[in-house]
Structure 1
Amino acid sequence: MCICSMSVVTGHKNHELAELERDREEKVKLLRVTLSDIRKKLEEREKKLKETRRVMEQKKISVEREVEENEKSFTDLTHCIEEAHKKLVEKIREQEKREIEKAEGVTEQLEKEIEELKKIYAELKELSETKDNIHFQQTQTFPSCRVLPADGDSLNFAVIADVSSEDMRKELSCLKKILEKITQWDIMTLTSGREAPVLILQPPEPRHRDEFLQCEFVL
C-alpha cells in the first residue's frame, strides 16, 4: 500500500515497512511456484486431452469395424435363411409334382377301368334280363368269357394330402429364440490392471432354471 514519506525516515509505529526489491523477490518466488504448478497441470491436461482424442478415434474405428462384422454376420445369416427357405419350397414343389404325376396316372387308369367295368356291367345286366335261353347260353359276354380289370396298383395307391416340415419349424423356432436373446444382451466394461477398459456384449443373467441350464461358464 502507499505510505507517507515520513514513515520511511522516522519509522512510524503504526506502519509496517518492507523494501520493494525484497518484497518483489519473495512474490516472484511465489509466482514462479504458481506458474510451475499451472504449467504442470496444463501439460497433464493437454496430455490427457491428446490421449482421450486418440482413444476416441480408436473407439470410433473399433465400433465401425464391429458394426461391419456384425452386419456381415447377420447378412450371411439372412442369406442362409433365405436360401434354406428357397430350397425347402423347391423340394415341397418337387414332391408335389411327383405326387400329382402319380395321381394323374392312377386317375387315368381308374377312369379307363371304370369305363370298362361300366360297359361290362351294362352288357351283363342286359344278358341277365334276356328271356332267350339259347342266347343266354351262347353269348360271349358271359362273365367267364370276359376279362375283368385286375385289382392292381390303382387301388393300392394313396394320395399324400399333407406335407409336413414340423422338425424344421422347431429348429427355426429355436433359432428365433436365440436371436431374441441376443437383442437383450448388454454392453459390459472389463478392465485388467492398467490396461484400457474393453467393452463387450454379454448376455443377461439367467432368470429361470431353463436359462440357467443353457448358460456356458468360462473358467
Structure 2
Amino acid sequence: MASANTSCSEENFSCTICLDVFNSPVSTPCGHNFCRTCINNFWDEKLEYKCPLCNELFHTRPDLRVNILLSEMVDRFGTSVRVKEQPWVEPGEVPCDVCPGTQLKAVKSCLVCLISYCQTHLEPHQRVAVLKKHPLVEPIDRLEDRMCEKHDRILELFCKKEQVCVCLLCTVTDHKSHPVVPLKEEYEVKTAQLGKIEAEVPQMIQKRKLKIKEINETVGLSKKDADKEIADAGQALTALIGCVEKCLNDFNQMVKERLKSTENQAKGLIKGLEQEIVDLTKRMSKVKQLLHTEDHLHFLKAFGSLKDPPPTRDRTTLAVRPPSYEGALGKYLHQLKETLDMEMKKLPGAELKRVQKYKGDVTLEPRTANYWPTGSRWELE
C-alpha cells in the first residue's frame, strides 16, 4: 500500500505535458494544472486554445495564474522527486552552484552569470527571454578563472602579441596598442595549428618505428657476422693441438662480449625511441581531447604546452655500429703460437726430431690469411 500511495502522489505532482514534477504550476479556467512553460509552448503551436486534458475550448487565450497551493506542495514533495531523478554530483564532476545543502550535478554553465546549474535551476535560462541570450556551455569548474583579475570582467578577447586572454578593459589599458581578437577566432586559429600537429605526430611515430626496424636488422646482421667469425675461428683453431680449445673459448668469449655490447647499445636506443613513441602517443591523445573541447579559455590555456612537439633527439643519423673483429683472431693465434713454441721445447729429443720431420710452411685459406700476424711463417725447428 505504501508503494501505491507513493506512485499516486508522484502522478498528482506531475505535469501531464512534460510528465515531470511541476515547475511553476499554473491553473487553466477548467481547473487543470500544468507547468507554465509547458502550457504556453503547447498553445504557441496551436491555432485554438484548448485544455490538453479535457479539450475544453477557450475563445481567448486564458490569463494563467500561479496555483499557490500546488506550488507549495511541489516545493515540499516535488524536490525529493526531482532529486531522485537527477544525478548527485560525483567526485570530479561540476556541482550546481544554486542547490542548497547537498548539490546536484550541473548540466550547463552560464558564461554571463558565471554560475553552473543543475537541470532544475537551469529552467529560467530556458524560459526567460533575457536569460535565453546567455551563452551556455558544458559544465565548467572554477568559473571565477574566467574573470580578469585586474578589472573583474569576463575574459572574452585574446591578445595576439602577448598570447594571453584579456577583458575589454585590458584593451584600453595594458594592451592598448596590441592586436586583439575574440576568443573564438583565436580558438579556430589554434585549432588549425593543433590539427597540423596531430597530423605530424603519426609520421614522427612511423619514422621511429622504421628506425627501430633498421636497428634490429643491423643487430641481426651483426649476429650473423659474429656467428661466422666464431665458425671460422673454430675451423682454424681445431687444426691445432694442445691449447687450441682454450684459445677457441677465449676468442668466442671476446666476440660474444662485443656482440653483447652492440646489443646493449641497440637496446638503449630502442628504449629511447619507444619512450618517445609513448610520449608522442600521449601527446596525440591530449591534442585530440583538446580539439573536442568547446571551452575556449581552457583550450587556449592548454594550447601553449601542446603547440610545439616535445623535444626529441635527432634520430635521422641514429645507428648501431657493428663490432669489429679485424685482427682479433691474429692476436689469439699469435698467443697460441707462443704457447705451442713453449710446449714444443718441452718435448723429448726423439719426439722433437719426429716433429721436425714435418717441418714446413703453414698454408692459410685466402679468407683467413689476414688473421695471421706479419711474419708468422711457422717453421718448426
| TM-score (normalised: structure 1) | 0.36
More helix per residue: 1
Of the two, which has the highest radius of gyration?
1
